[in-house]
Amino acid sequence: MRFSIYRYSAEQDAEPRMQSYELADIGADMMLLEALLKIKAIDETLSFRRSCGEGVCGSDAVNINGRNGLACITPLASLTAPIEVRPVPGLPVIRDLVVDMEPFYRQYRAVKPYLTVTDPIPEIEFRQTPQERDKLDGLYECILCGACSTSCPSFWWNPDKFLGPAALLQAWRFLADSRDQIADERLSDMEGAYKLFRCHTIMNCAEVCPKGLNPTKAIGNIKQLMLKRSI
């Protein structure tokens, strides 16, 4: 099976290039990450991030045949060869498949992604009904892999002004949490033409999310709350 992999390091390359690799023994169940590890065993200069190998830690988001996904849970059998692997788009490349995630993390931090309660804290757990808790399903599972934001054209165009789908999904995760008490502040923080409203419901985010989450829907919910608040 043939692979074409994006290679670049500021240390030695003036320009990025695509490098071909051929792997002979491809198992029926092999994931792309296993192939990358085999390639690294041949050519240890290839750099990429990886850790849990089961789609939980969010380290190995890459662009695979033009589409963002996690290498560890993408079966080779689902891909057409030659398999083209590039870094996720829209973030500066550090080396090969490794991008600088800091702009993405900055957006995450900007939405105050932490439960905030202003009342005195009781000695027992905050009570939350199973129905209230259900509202967090599809939100808290985000693994911060960045597949969504880096496939979003609004993020590419305005990375410094638009918060991007991952951060906005987390903004909604806390707005939707019956325990959180700073909804008003959260909404005020997202006012203006860019932070939230640059989402044009292109839906690439929901399309590529490896955990099946739907940031577009979350963004729609925030917009609705904004609207309600303004009338």
Partner 1 sequence: MQVGQIERRKFDTLVIGAGGGGLRASMQLAQADADVAVVSKVFPTRSHTVAAQGGINAALANVMPDNWHWHMYDTIKGSDYLGDQDAIEYMCRAASRLVIELEHAGVPFSRLDDGSIYQRPFGGQSQNFGGEQAARTCAAADRTGHAILHALYQQNIRAKTHFFDEYFALDLIKGEDDQVLGAVVLSIATGEPLIIEAKTTLLATGGAGQIFRTNTNAMINTGDGLAMALRADIPLQDMEFFQFHPTGIAGKGMLISEGVRGEGGYLLNADGERFMERYAPNAKDLASRDVVSRSIAIEIREGRGCGPNRDHVLLKVDHLGADVIKKRLPGIRDIAMTFTHIDPIEAPIPVYPTAHYTMGGIPTNRFGQVVAPMRHGAEEATPGLYAVGECACVSVHGANRLGGNSLLDIVVFGRAAGNHIIEFLGSNRYHQSLPKRSVDQALARLARWERKGSGDGESVTELRATLQQTMEEYCGVFRTDDVLQQGVEKVLEIEQRLEDVTIHDHSRIFNTARIEAMELENLIDNALATVVSAHARQESRSAHSRVDFPERDDEHWLKHSLYYKEGQRLDYKPVRMKPLSVESFPPKPRVY
One residue of 15, 20, 24, 44 binding partner 1 per CB under 8 A: 44
Q: Which residues contact 204 (CB under 8 A, 6 or more apart)?
A: 148, 151, 152, 153
In this chain, which stretch among 18-26, 36-44, 61-69, 154-162 interacts with partner 1, using CB under 8 A?
36-44
Q: Nearer to partner 1 by C-beta: 48 or 162?
A: 48
Q: Nearer to partner 1 by C-beta: 66 or 212?
A: 212
Q: Nearer to partner 1 by C-beta: 50 or 217?
A: 50
CB 104 within 8 A of CB 156: no
CB 82 within 8 A of CB 4: yes
CB 173 within 8 A of CB 136: yes
Q: Nearer to partner 1 by C-beta: 123 or 184?
A: 123
The residues in 13-32 that bind partner 1, with binding defined as CB under 8 A, are: 29
One residue of 140, 156, 194, 197 binding partner 1 per CB under 8 A: 140
Per-residue mark of binding to partner 1, 83-122 (x: CB under 8 A)? -----------xxx-x-xx---x---x--xxxxxx---x-
Q: Nearer to partner 1 by C-beta: 217 or 223?
A: 217
One residue of 45, 181, 188, 224 binding partner 1 per CB under 8 A: 45
CB atoms within 10 A of CB 94: 16
**Could you tell me the CA-to-CA distances from 123 to 120, 126, 127, 132 in Å, in that order?**
10, 9, 12, 21
Torsion of CA 84, 90, 94, 96, to 10 degrees: 0
Q: Nearer to partner 1 by C-beta: 183 or 202?
A: 183
Instruction: Choose among 65, 62, 174, 63: nearest CA to 114.
Output: 174
Q: Which long-range contacts (CB under 8 A, 24 or more apart) does 20-23 make?
A: 20/82
One residue of 49, 67, 217, 223 binding partner 1 per CB under 8 A: 49
Alpha-helical segments (H) within 78-214 = 102-110, 130-134, 153-157, 164-175, 183-189, 204-208
One residue of 2, 17, 22, 51 binding partner 1 per CB under 8 A: 51
Catalog residues that contact partner 1 under the rule CB under 8 A: 9-12, 29, 40-41, 44-45, 47-59, 73, 94-96, 98, 100-101, 105, 109, 112-117, 121, 123-130, 132-133, 136, 140-141, 143-144, 177, 179
